[in-house]
Structure 1
Amino acid sequence: MFLIRFLVRWTIYFLLITIGWVGLYALVPPPLTATMVMDENGFNKDWTSISQISPHMVRAVIAGEDGKFCSHDGFDGEAIKQAIARNREGGRIRGGSTISQQVAKNAFLWQGGGYFRKGLEAYFTFLIETLWSKKRIMEVYLNIAETGIGTYGVQAGSQRYFRKDAADLTRIQAARMAAALPQPKKRAVNGASGFTARYGNTIAARINVVKRDKLDGCIYK
């Protein structure tokens, strides 16, 4: 009986703390993340409202990271299956994480794998999809994603690479930043070549598709 009471009590504590934490971040910017604190290069960030971020940047990350962002519930089963199949074939390891899953990981957890971490990621993904709007999820993503060595968020990245505010990013500049997002410490934004350059060109073309097909409809009505 003692063990059952203990487990029930701590389950209630866990739910109250995590739901409150996620609810708080629906209203205020996350001040820090574990990734920032653990970054040996330090971190530079500058929170910027999504209204002050170029729509090109929003559409670029949808095109490059999560084409079904506005229509899924936080998980894209088809993308996960495709990622598993590609990884079994060898070559470049690719994930099937949605933008929502990346926000759950970056805002509330830590980098790395493991079933325990992935289980928590799924839990926090469910919470943010339930308690936040899609627009808020995108806003947090664009402000805490690592955009370069010691650089977090698209405003800090825009200033670093182009010496301009995120509101003024062109389609090509947004595509270049989005192409580097999966591996910002290894992929160059300026002077990109090889895969990153090709991927950036692909994203630039897809930006128009995202707008045309209203794949950004949960952000821009």
Structure 2
Amino acid sequence: MTAQGDPYTYEKPLWRVILVGFLKWTTIAVGSFLILSLLAVFTIGWTGPAPTFNMAGTAMRGVEVRSTWVDLKDISPHLVRAVIASEDQNFCAHEGFDLKEIQKAMQAAENGGDLRGASTISQQTAKNVFLWNGGGWARKGAEAYFTMLAEWMWSKPRIMEIYLNVAEWGDGIYGVEQAAQERFGVAAKDLTPRQAAALAAVLPSPNRWKIDGNYATGRRNNKIQALMGMVRRDGLDKCVVGP
């Protein structure tokens, strides 16, 4: 007791005050991020995405961004088969991540080959809508998180629809409708198998590989056309275009 009869006061150590404050604000920040990200994924599932980081980056480089949204029903099934054939043949079977392709990529790297991509269409959609191009573990972690949310909240047809509308086809062209009109002078619903394969062939690097471009792109185009028949025959597109 003090001379006035008051109990002794206890002052918390400074390190404890700092730690408690840090944990408190970290919890608030993480909780806010989780709530906002859930709301964002849910909302986009119904309304469609706003302009993406990639579009903003293109505009900042002084390139005009051209984009026209089109519903999945107005996109040729040839293009759906082409992108499944070229980008993600297990799209209808996996839940966001293709573990077999990831394992193959890791084995190839261990054997001295280049580290090739193993991203699914779901992962690419999450990256294109919510994130930005580039590497780093933080971005990869965020990509995995948004991929899981997209697979949980969106249907496979919705994932494909958003993917085809936000993918870049080079020179500031975003979305298949804009690409079909500028490259071939047709609507997305009227793309032929060859035109669809030509569009899918440049997706890995649209600003380096041209649709009407080089020998390597032409060979990839021919390979995709051959695989499109397999996709249809084996029903690898059934979750999007039906049986």
- In the other structure, the counterpart of 1:217 is 238
User: Whole-Å Cα distance in 1 between the matches of residues 175 and 109 of structure 2?
Assistant: 29
The one-letter code matched in structure 2 to 1:55 is P
Q: Which of 205, 208, 226 pairs up with 1:205?
A: 226
| Corresponding position of 2:4 | none
Counterpart contact for 1:57–1:169, Cα < 8 Å: yes
Q: Could you say which residue in structure 1 is the equivalent of 2:42?
A: 23
The answer to whether structure 1 residue 193 and structure 2 residue 196 are counterparts is: no
Q: Does 1:67 align with 2:86?
A: no
Q: Distance in 2 between matches of 1:83 and 1:33?
A: 28
TM-score, with structure 1 as normaliser: 0.95
Corresponding residue for 2:32? 13
* 1:142-157 matches, cutoff 5 A: 142-157=164-179
Query: Aligned letter for 1:205?
Result: A
Q: Is the 8 A contact 1:36 1:42 kept in 2?
A: no
Give the Å deviation of 1:136.
0.5
Which residue of the other structure, out of 151, 166, 169, is the alignment partner of 2:188?
Answer: 166
Task: Give the count of matched residue pairs.
Answer: 219
TM-score (norm 2): 0.87
For 2:96 and 2:32, the matched residues in 1 are separated by 25
Q: Post-superposition shift, 1:193?
A: 3.1
Q: Which consecutive unaligned segments of at least 5 residues does structure 1 have?
A: none
TM-fit CA distance, 1:12: 1.3
Which protein has the larger Cα radius of gyration, Structure 1 or Structure 2?
Answer: 2
Letter in 2 for 1:139: E
Q: What is aligned with 1:76?
A: 98
Q: RMSD value over aligned CA atoms?
A: 1.3
Which secondary structure does the structure 2 equivalent of 1:148 belong to?
coil
Any gaps of 5 or more consecutive residues in structure 2? 1-19
Structure 2 equivalent of residue 110 of structure 1:
132
Contact 1:35–1:111 (Cα < 8 Å) also in 2: yes
Secondary structure class of the residue paired with 2:24: helix
C-alpha distance in structure 2 between counterparts of 1:184 and 1:95, whole Å: 15
Structure 1 CA distance for aligned equivalents of residues 57 and 214 of structure 2? 29
Identical-residue share of aligned pairs (%): 44
